[in-house]
Every structure is written in C-alpha cells, then in structure tokens.
Structure 1
Amino acid sequence: MQQIADLITLPEIKTVIRLNEVLKPQAEVLQTELVLTKEVNRAFQAIFASLAEEKGKGFFIEGGYGSGKSHFLACLYLYLRSQTTPSVPNLPKVKGPWLVIPISLLDYGSEVRLQEIILEAINTTLERCFHKALLPPDFMAELERLLETNEEALNQLAKQLNISKKELFTFKYWPHLHQLFQRLNLPYRPVLDREHLLKQLKAVLKEEGYKGAILLVDELSEFLKSKSTIPAFQEDIRFLQFLGEAAQEAPLWIIAALQEKLETTGDIPQDAFAKIKDRYPVRLLFAGGHIEEIISQRLVKKRPQAKAYLEELYEHFKQTFNYLPFNWEQWFKLYPVHPLTIQLLDELR
C-alpha cells in the first residue's frame, strides 16, 4: 500500500507573509512565489483598470486565514513601486508613478486611531521618498512652545535618539514626543484637519509629478474588531468613510484586506455603511476556488506515480460509499487535503 510520502512532495515555502516584508532587502522574491489564480488575476485586472482611468477608488479584498491576501498586497506594492506589471492576461496599461504606502495594522494596538496610523504611514513614505511630511498648521511650533520649559528633558531625548533637538521636532519623532508629554504630565494631541492634510498631500504629489497615492491596508477587519469601545470603532469607520469620499479628488486608491465582510466587524452606523458601500464599490473575493489553485499549484506536488494510484483509490471509495461530496478532479487536485476542508475554511471567515 502506498504512503502519502510516496505520492506527493511538499515544496519548501514561506507559510506566513506580512505586508511590511516589502521594505526588506530582496523582497522581489515574493513575486516569484505568488500563484496567479483566477481570483488573483481578476484582482490585478480590476485594480489596474482603475489606475488606468486615473480616478481614485476603494477596494476591499476579502478572504479567510491563509488565503494569500497579504502576499497579494505585497506583490502589488512591488509591481506598482517598480512600475512593472504581472503576467496577467488583458491587463490594462498604466503609467505612474504613484506614492505606494504599505500599512500592516498588525503593527498597531487597538488603542491607536486609524487616522493616526494612516497619517504616520503617509508621512513615513513621504519622508523616505521626498524628505517631506504632512503636518497640521503650526504643529511643531505649538509643541516647542509647550516644551520650552523642559529643555533638559528634550536634550536627554534627543541624545537618546542620537539626533539633534531640531530634528526631534519633525513628525517622524512625534511618537517619542508624545511619550515625553505623558511623562511630563503635559497631555497633547495634535488637532488634525483632514481636509487640510489632504490638500497638502495633493500638493506634494503634484510637485513631485506623481499620479496619486495608493494605500495598501492589511488586516483591516481584525483591527476594527479589536476596538474596545463602540465610539473608537465608529471613529475609525468614519475615517474610512472620509478616505473613500476623498479618493477621486486626491486621487487616492485604498486597497484593504479583510478576513470577513466589513459589516460584520461591529456596530456600523447605517448612514456610514451606505456611504462606505458607495465609496468602496469593488469587493474582490479570495475564496474556495482560489485556495484550491494554491494547494494544487504551490503547496503540494504530485509524484509521477500518484495519478494511477489515486484513480484506483477514488474508484474504491465510489464503490464503498453511496455518495462522495467531491468529484475526481477535486480529489486529485487537492490530495491529500480533503476537498471539504476548503468549504470549512470558507465558513471560518
């Protein structure tokens, strides 16, 4: 009797891929490992079609655990950053450049507001690319005024970070300044004018000759579900709504990955939900068929002798049981994974 090891091999693969890996050296290897399933191809086609129109839009990519959403976002980032395209049929031609901003919400606690996370990510990318940042009016001047009687504490913090005191008053080091405010019992939270910051972003993109900004947001549904209070959750929903409404004007593309439908993550106000549905009109699903292709093309390789043996085993099952909830193609393609496992994974979303 054949053993499973006699019939298949398991290629060595990276089982968990996080979006922030795109910022590491040799990240391009992620592109060679992406399986271009029908759903992945459709997602690339929809996104590139929107980029070709040069009108911002919101996209939700929905899929369960292990469906490859983070891998897809990582590869999308690499293609857009390098202004190259995947080998996908009927892919619209696009012309950048775009400011592509990867945001993995796994890196943040539930107490942090989505607005702060997005602004931090935009500023990190702007600083890396252009040495610029988006700031509220008189932001740093206000910080300096509040801290003018605490020069010793400022000098110590600058020394600890190995930077000058002048460098300390840039948005990059706002988290460190915020911690200092808390230690000195000087609570301060910048008043962020969303419209003002959006105008700043548009101005920077125009100055640099960029076609727009693209936010790639991973683990959105899990982040929203982690909110400890209804007001905190609804504040993040309202900001998501604001981004969607600002999309065409900027132009701005928001491509967010979710493990489940947005409406199941919490108590969303009806008016906000209606507007989000309108502003994020494209929902791309990485479901059963997509996972089947990943298993058969990437995770499991059949040995030459496997087909004949599995045909014999399948016929034996057909004669033994009155009914099989899968056909021969599913059995062979997914072996040794039971075909109903895919259905179970879909239901876990």
Structure 2
Amino acid sequence: MSSSPSDATAPDPRPYDALLLLSFGGPEGPDDVMPFLRNVTRGRGIPDERLAEVAQHYLRLGGVSPINEQCRRLLAAIRADFAAHGLDLPVYWGNRNWTPYLTDTLRQMAEDGVERAIVFVTSAYASYSGCRQYREDLAAAQAAVGERAPRCDKLRHYFNHPGFVEPMIDNTVAALRALPEDLRAGARLAFTTHSIPISWAETSGPEGGAYVAQHLEVARLVATGVQERTGVAHPWELVYQSRSGPPSQPWLEPDICDHLDALRSAGAAAVVIVPIGFVSDHLEVRYDLDTEALDHAAKLGLAATRAATVGVDPRFVAMIRELVLERAVAERGQPVARRAVGRLGPSHDVCPLDCCPNPWGHRPAAKA
C-alpha cells in the first residue's frame, strides 16, 4: 500500500529541512528597470536601445514589476498553510534576476544551518527558460556560496496537478460570466503562454516537444472542465505572447494579437484570454494581455475578458505542500501517490542530463 502526502499522521518533510521559493524577480522602482533587464539578458548581446523599448512596459506600471509582491503573498500563504497543517519547515525566497538574489538567499540558508532544501519554481512547464535555467542558476549560486551551500532538489513540473488545473477552470468560468450574457455561449477560449524559440520547444522535455504538448494538455483539461461546469463546449486554441527574440529567429506562433485579428475576421464576437502559462499576474499578464491584447480586442470590436491566474488560490498553495511531502516520501525510499490529471501523468522528479539543453552551451545544473 502506498503512502499519501495527505495522510492524517504528522507531516514528515525529511530529508528536507527547508523550502526555497525560487522565482524570476523584477524591478521594484524606475531606477531598477534597466539594471534588471541587463541581468535578464546578460551574455546575449542585446543592445541597450532594445532594452529601453522593453523598459517602457515596466515604466508604464510605475517601474515596478508585480511579480515580487506576488511572491511575497505566495510566501506568506505557504507559511500559513504549512503552519495550519503542522508542517514544520522554514520557507525562504530567492530570485534569479533581482533582489532577493538567489545567491544571497542560499548564503542565508547556509548560515541558518539548512543542509538540504526542496525548491518550488514559479514555472509549471518544461523548457530551457522554465526549468534548466533555474537549475543552472541554482548550481551557480551553490558554487558562489561554497561547500556550506545546501543541496537543492527541484520539485517536479506541476502543470497537470489538480491544484493548478482546477483553479484555472474556475477562473475561466468566472471570466466567461464577465462577458455580456448574450455573447457567452459563443465565446472562444484563447489559452496563452510565453512564446519561446521553436528550437527550444523542440528540445524541451526528455523526448522533445514537451513545452507545447504540456500546454495543449492543460488547455484541453481546462476547456473540458469549463464545459462540464457550463454545459457549453467552447472552441479553443493555444496561442503565444511576449516574444522577445530577433525577427530572424523562429518563435512559437500565433501571437495573441494576431489570433484576435483572425477571430474577428472569422466572425467571432467574444473571447476569453486564459493565461495558463503563468502562475501569477506579473508583467507579461498585466501589460502584454491586460494592456496590449485587451486594447487590441477593443479596437477590433471583439468583446474580451481575461481569466485570473492561480495566484494564491488555496488549492494551489496546498499543492505546494503536497508536492513537498510527496518528494520527501520518495526520497526516503517509500512508495507514494503522485497526483496528476489528464493523459500525460506525473512528471519526473529528476531531469535527464539531455533534457531542455542550454542553447548557448553547457552550464552545470543542480539536480532536479
């Protein structure tokens, strides 16, 4: 009989003695914007002129990325959930690209005596930028801290965990209800995620193609859940946003605004934009969707709403606790139930060596 992370017995996180919330990071004020963008693009030869264009997106929001405040809210929610369920595990927060920097957080963890941490990354899918790059940054931070740095194991991908999928179903239903009543039944669903180079998408996951396949599965699951709740089968598509590469490099398409054009040309009257590629309403959601995409839909005369991301939904926060205990049981060598919905099943705990390769060359990566 397998153990379950939700058993009534006192939760046991061994061998882990801390949880690390690892995120992307973002500027906290106008003076931070350009230094932050240089951190994000370091080593890629992107000129300041191009970064200055991107900086305007942040400056329109006061130079403050929403992501850090959302991480603070998630951090507080995780701590409250752990305390409510008797899980005695300190929770730390570190970012790849802005304060609190990952290296500083690992140094503090080492000073606090943490030896082995489990890592929750605010990216649900397999790709270089969404998985391996975080693991590379973990390895670099561990090397900078030295021999006292805690070992860090990254939690599995959670795109198809019910704690992620079920809130997205509810959020999509709520967004549909925000449309004029006479347009709801005919509304299209546009599931959005961050565009990445096609070459990265083709090499994502152990066998390639995982980035697109995982998003298509989540879109299918959410659309099916919406149909079960509303009785209406809404046509849907997976589309992309926030492209940042040169025009000469092929990226995943169609772009959300191009898709809105196509919907209007085909006679669609309403659309719900569902950002399944993101776990919180950070810049790519607040600007690229709430500003650019919704403004574009309005110019087209296309009724549009945007579904909320999971944020700090209690089911999402409980999922983090469940995944921590699931991995702890597995690391202790015991069988464990691993929840996932849909056709793809639960993801691997440890990434294969050739999974989601670095497009710029090899860098050491922490164990998944």
More helix by share: 1
TM-score, structure 1 as length reference: 0.28
Larger Rg: 1 or 2?
1
